[in-house]
A = this chain, B = another copy of it.
């Protein structure tokens, strides 16, 4: 793996970032062609060269895509919370050469900040981010704004429209809350069965059919 010319090209910057951010950051180089890991500096998970990248959503080969993603939040199996940025690094011809990811472990910093701030605080300040007081509002909001965007009322949405709305709701983790499915089905004006059908299609886009 180390003899890959791309690794030779980008390794110095990876080593530099890994050295700068000390033991709390992991630097990963991905191959956008094979969707596999090329090299890892300062690994925090058990992944190594050759393992699948699992980059998923970001499509490096799309020339219209932006070059830098994030920072966004990732979660490790052991509960550590990471701040991650990804960058598409291009060769002289502008083609995507590799994808660089930097994963910074935020938990030690957050612990430190919490300890220090706890010292100044006379009364125990209640940590109350409490955003989605009502998740069903969020459903209405997502559906409503989509309807406004495309100018069609709910009952005239196409199948593709519904898939798009569901993608947003899925991204908002709406289906992780209990009893959410019937609410979404009603908001979309479809039956429970249809909703599950759409969700299945959404979650397995490759397996179009032929599965019988």
A interface residues with partner B (beta carbon < 8 Å):
19, 21-24, 73, 75, 79, 81, 108-138, 140-142, 144-145, 148-149, 168, 171-173, 176-178
Contact present for A112 and B111 (CB under 8 Å) = yes
Q: Which of the residues B123, B129, B135, B173 comes within 8 Å of A116, measured between beta carbons?
A: B123
Give the residue name and chain of the B residue nearest to A114 (CB). B148
Contact present for B132 and A131 (CB under 8 Å) = yes
Contact present for B177 and A176 (CB under 8 Å) = yes
A and B contact pairs by CB, cutoff 8 A, 19 listed: A19-B122, A23-B118, A24-B118, A73-B133, A79-B136, A108-B111, A110-B126, A111-B111, A111-B115, A113-B123, A114-B145, A126-B168, A129-B130, A129-B132, A130-B131, A131-B132, A135-B173, A176-B177, A177-B178
Given the interface contacts A22-B119, A113-B123, A118-B23, does A138 sit within 8 Å of B148 by beta carbon? Answer: no
